[in-house]
Amino acid sequence: MVLDRVPLAPLTTLEVGGPARHFVEAQDEAAVVESLRWAAARGLPVAILGGGSNVLVADAGFDGLVIRVAPRGRRFETTGTGVVTLTAAAGEPWDDLVADAVGRGLAGIECLSGIPGLAGATPIQNVGAYGQEVAETIQTVRVLDRATLQVRELGAGECAFGYRDSRFKRQPDAFVVLAVAFALRADAAPTLRYAELAAALAGTARPSLAETRAAVLGLRAKKSMVIRAGDPNRRSAGSFFTNPIVGAATADEVARRAGAPQMPRFPAGAGRVKLSAGWLIERAGFTKGTRRGAAGISTAHALALVNLGGARADELIALAVEIVGAVRARLGVTLAPEPVLVGQSWPIPP
Ligand code: EPU
């Protein structure tokens, strides 16, 4: 059933922004197709919403049809020696899947514990944290091709995954993700690649998947990256910018401009270097807890912008633009916003 003028703020973790002119919650694949036809017949633009944890809705809202993709269902099947495939419909809450997999002793997504949102969103920005990203376990992504309204199964190799990047992110109007299949490993040890996670588990001999999940949840909680009632930093979209990947010479130049030879830098393959956006933001003069009206920077992590209560999208956008401008002017790096802005485009010059 299509509803009119539905407030979107309560459907997002940032809790800002205006209404959808039309809104539908699609409980199954047929409803997604029917909703796309409904919008096409009226010449209306479509925005796809999942768990709302990586979107910023403009104050004017969205002048079209918002489809909340909500099909549920998951199954675990042994598909090879020591391999169990978890197939999850797009509307499955992500962290429930992680908890379920860990509880069954299946490895591959344990480091992705505590991430809000729904399974269908994970391939779009190739969700990653604490040493894992979904691209490493995704086997196939079941999509609806919006041009033909046909269902297709894309293999991982067809998804163009990169750091916080995919074919779905680059062509945002091409597909609707309907389900994702993840290849998990039975009897495998947790991934302890991320230095901070390895350090947190240093006192635990042969950490289990469950201990790894608990450690990740603990680290995330310290950074206000799990949503908890009463946490003043809770209204956020997680990281608000991606970590910039630059050439080695640019990294040296940034460190020189920052006056900090010890600047954090991480190998990103092919001789490139990943910089830490949170560090760059602090170095450009924004301390944690910076406030601009009801928008601010989390007191727990410089990379999260937060709605301190009653913020307008414009306040968050203005703060983001201010940060991008200052980091560029002082350090010569251009930060890219991570959340999808619904209802307008980013006012950030390239
Ligand atoms: N740092 C600062 N100040 C801060 C925060 C971080 O200087 O306020 C520096 C420190 O040097 C720290 C380094 O940044 O050692 C890395 O910080 P952190 O481990 O918190 O990771 P991140 O690079 O800031 C990324 C992801 C997070 C993910 C964590 C853990 C991106 C854009 N963000 O953050 O993902 O949870 O790693 O793996 O890649 C998200 O995308 O929404 C998200 C939360």
Q: Which residues contact 88 (CB under 8 A, 6 or more apart)?
A: 73, 74, 97, 119, 179, 180, 181, 182
Q: How many CA atoms lie within 13 A of 14 on its CB side?
A: 34
Q: Is 110 among the catalytic positions?
A: no
Q: Is 196 among the catalytic positions?
A: no
Active-site hit among 53, 239, 298, 315: 239
Alpha helix ranges (H) inside the chain: 29-41, 94-103, 167-170, 195-200, 209-222, 248-258, 277-283, 313-331
User: Residue 305 Cα, ligand 1 centroid: separation in angstroms?
Assistant: 13
Q: Give the pLDDT band of residue 322 (cuts 50, 70, 90).
A: very high
* Phi, psi for residue 239 in degrees, rounded to 5: -60, 130
Which domains, from first to last, does the chain contain? 3-69 (3.30.43.10), 74-222 (3.30.465.10), 245-342 (3.90.78.10)
Mutate to test the pocket of ligand 1, among 239, 241, 242, 331 (most ligand atoms within 8 A of CB): 239
pLDDT per position as a tens digit, 83-98: 999 999 999 999 999 9
Q: Which atom of ligand 1 is nearest to the CA of 302?
A: 8
Report the SS3 class of residue 242. Answer: coil
pLDDT per position as a tens digit, 63-84: 999 999 999 999 999 999 999 9
Q: What amino acid occupies position 121?
A: A
pLDDT per position as a tens digit, 213-263: 999 999 999 999 999 999 999 999 999 999 999 999 999 999 999 999 999
Q: Which atom of ligand 1 is nearest to the CA of 111?
A: 38
Mutate to test the pocket of ligand 1, among 53, 276, 331, 340 (most ligand atoms within 8 A of CB): 276
User: Residue 277 Cα, ligand 1 centroid: separation in angstroms?
Assistant: 8
pLDDT per position as a tens digit, 272-313: 999 999 999 999 999 999 999 999 999 999 999 999 999 999
Query: Which residue, judged by its Cα, is nearest atom 7 of ligand 1?
Result: 279
User: Residue 279 Cα, ligand 1 centroid: separation in angstroms?
Assistant: 9
C-alpha span between 344 and 333 (Å, rounded): 24
Q: Which atom of ligand 1 is nearest to the CA of 129?
A: 38
Structure tokens at 74: 């998951």
Active-site hit among 164, 220, 235, 283: 164
Mean residue pLDDT of the chain comes to 97
Structure tokens at 119: 């399974």
Which segments within the chain are labelled E, that is strand? 3-7, 19-26, 46-49, 55-57, 62-69, 74-80, 83-89, 106-107, 128-129, 132-133, 138-145, 150-155, 175-186, 245-246, 265-267, 273-275, 291-292, 295-297, 305-307, 340-342
Angle at alpha carbon of residue 25, lines to 145 and 54, rounded to 5° = 75
Residue showing tokens 């619904």: 342
Mutate to test the pocket of ligand 1, among 194, 303, 333 (most ligand atoms within 8 A of CB): 303
Q: Is 239 among the catalytic positions?
A: yes
Would you say residue 350 has pLDDT above 80?
A: no
User: Residue 278 Cα, ligand 1 centroid: separation in angstroms?
Assistant: 6
- Contact yes or no for 230/325 (Cβ under 8 A): no
Pocket of ligand 1 (CB under 6 A): 129-130, 164, 194, 196, 223, 225, 238-239, 242-243, 264, 276, 278-279, 282, 288, 301-303, 338
Q: What is the pLDDT of residue 197?
A: 98
Q: Give the pLDDT band of residue 164 (cuts 50, 70, 90).
A: very high
Q: Print burial letters for 152-179: b (CB count within 10 Å at least 16), e (below 16).
A: eebebeebbbbbbbbbbbeeeeebbbbb
pLDDT per position as a tens digit, 29-53: 999 999 999 999 999 999 999 999 9
pLDDT per position as a tens digit, 125-150: 999 999 999 999 999 999 999 999 99
C-alpha span between 304 and 306 (Å, rounded): 6
CA 290 to chain centre: 23
Radius of gyration of the chain (CA): 20
Q: Give the pLDDT band of residue 187 (cuts 50, 70, 90).
A: confident
User: Residue 190 Cα, ligand 1 centroid: separation in angstroms?
Assistant: 20
User: Residue 136 Cα, ligand 1 centroid: separation in angstroms?
Assistant: 20
